[in-house]
Structure 1
Amino acid sequence: MTRGGARAASGPAPDPNALRRNRPSDKAGWRTLPTEGRPGDPPQWPLTTVSDREWELWADLWESPQAVMWDELGQTLEVALAVRTLAEAELPDARIDIKKMVRPYLDSLGLTVQGMLRNRWKIAPATEQDAGGTELRPAAPLRPGPRNRLKVVRDDEGT
């Protein structure tokens, strides 16, 4: 068993909203992924024959916002291995070691919150369109800021 020292996923994940932004590790910056995901058809399946469930997962994952980065980074094989492992882990009689492999795959591909933070990816806020086709602004935060909670109180004499 390993002892001491830093590990790849040790410590808290990076925070895009941190107050201190002059860290050397922040030089790479954050990548904003499009909400609508990756356009087009999924790439060709790189492994041996594909099952129906694997193809369903494959096609679905390649429509996600993270797929833009997988395409850019050439991670077709990694995604295929994750899909095959996930499809096998879904089976009722799946071995526990197969089920344990799914989470690291999802993290490394940015399909979990922690994976998104570690990869320094964020998804652009979704905007809605009204019936007339005009774009609406993103929804306001649920909790107002401190300035919005203050109000001016005047006495009757105007002083």
Structure 2
Amino acid sequence: MARGGARARSGPAPTSTDRSHKAKANAEGWTTLPADGRDGPLPAWPLISPSDRELDLWERLWESPQAVMWETLHLDFEVASYVRLLVRAEAPRSSAIIWGQVKQVAESLGLSASGMARNRWTVASVNDDSDQSTPQAAVSPVADLAARLKAVSGE
């Protein structure tokens, strides 16, 4: 077991609630992502033999605000691995271990509120005409629960 030193998840999560100005946010190391998401062509799927579900999730994820940073950081493979893992977790009788891995990868990609805070990302207000931005939690682009349950039951 590791000893001493800082750990990525130790201590309180960074907070952006006391920020009221973009310049201050950027000075503190926070990145403001565009509310309308990433523009541009869809990156090529980097893994072999994608399913229709994987391609659908891939397309939806690359339209999210977080995708701006994924593109900058060249995280195509990591996003594809997340998509493949998520599709595997959606399968009937998938294990809790897989769901735990999905949660962990989603957080590292900034797809959860805690992941956004850990990465020091915030989403700009939709009507951001002024110099102020209100931090918003990331919304997972995964289909809602009712749709997933219908898919599993075959309706």
Instruction: State the TM-score, normalizing by the size of structure 1.
Output: 0.70
SS of structure 1 residue aligned to 2:122 = strand
Gaps of 5+ in 1: 20-25, 129-134, 139-159
Residue of structure 1 in register with 2:64 after alignment: 64
| More helix as a share of residues | 2
CA distance in 2, matches of 1:3, 1:91: 38
Deviation at 1:102, TM superposition (A): 0.5
CA RMSD across the alignment: 2.5
Instruction: State the TM-score, normalizing by the size of structure 2.
Output: 0.72
Percent identity reads 51
CA distance in 1, matches of 2:91, 2:39: 30
Deviation at 1:41, TM superposition (A): 2.8
SS of structure 2 residue aligned to 1:71 = helix
Residue of structure 2 in register with 1:11 after alignment: 11
CA distance in 2, matches of 1:55, 1:28: 36
SS of structure 1 residue aligned to 2:126 = coil
Question: What are the superposed Cα offsets for residues 91-120 of structure 1, whole Å, 9 maximum, x if unpaired?
Answer: 112122211100111110001001001111
Deviation at 1:89, TM superposition (A): 0.5
Residue of structure 2 in register with 1:86 after alignment: 86
Deviation at 1:63, TM superposition (A): 0.1
Deviation at 1:17, TM superposition (A): 3.3
Gaps of 5+ in 2: 20-25, 133-155
User: Which protein shows a greater Rg?
Assistant: 1
Moved segments of 4+, more than 3 Å: 1-6
CA distance in 1, matches of 2:126, 2:40: 20
- Which protein has greater RCO, CA pairs closer than 8 Å, 6+ apart? 2
Match status 1:51 vs 2:51 = yes
CA distance in 2, matches of 1:42, 1:98: 27
Deviation at 1:2, TM superposition (A): 5.3
CA distance in 1, matches of 2:28, 2:68: 18
Question: What are the superposed Cα offsets for residues 8-62 of structure 1, whole Å, 9 maximum, x if unpaired?
Answer: 112211112348xxxxxx9661111001101123200001110011111100000
